[in-house]
Amino acid sequence: MAEADHSGARQRFLEFLARKHLRLTGPRRAIIESVFGTEKHFTAEDLLKWARRRDKSVSRATVYRTLPLLTESGLVREMDFGQDHKFYDPNYAEHPHHNHIICQDCGKIVEFESQKIAQLENEISRRLGFSANAHRLQITATCEEFRKLGVCSKKEA
């Protein structure tokens, strides 16, 4: 798991928990440290595995009760990439207007930002009488390795 410095988001989430009068237990702390210690998109099962490395007492139920709090806080975004499970984006707090390219062969998720997309979004919104608050752009593609070789070595068997 890549280490990330989301200390500002981590602190805002701790303040969110305090406003809701929720305790910061050891398992919840392990979950929070796992979420704000990565830049990778993750599933609930990924989070459970990562958090258990920090605290073996983390339960699946605690993970599933904490994920809605993370999304409610606005610091993590739930993403549907057309698979049988949701992904969670820990980079949303620092970069709320980023977009995603998802490899349909290996599942790799790449984030990107584009000023041109933001300009187009604003232009279209104004023309139609709206003011854009947020957007989600998700591109499904085939990775370069698959395009060149006809197979992707990162694809799970």
Q: Does residue 99 register a pLDDT over 80?
A: no
Q: Give residue 2's pLDDT.
A: 43
- Which residue ranges form the domains of the chain, and what is each CATH number? 7-89 (1.10.10.10), 99-149 (3.30.1490.190)
What number is the average pLDDT over the span 72-80?
Answer: 87
> Residue 37: how many CA atoms within 13 Å on its side-chain side?
14
Q: Beta strand pairing status for 87-89 and 77-79?
A: antiparallel
> pTM of the predicted model, to two decimals?
0.70
Q: Give residue 117's pLDDT.
A: 84
Q: Does residue 157 register a pLDDT over 60?
A: no
Residue 3: both structure tokens together = 């280490």
Per DSSP (E only), the strands in the chain are 77-79, 87-89, 99-103, 109-112, 138-141
Report the share of the chain in percent with pLDDT over 70.
88
Q: Beta strand pairing status for 77-79 and 109-112?
A: unpaired
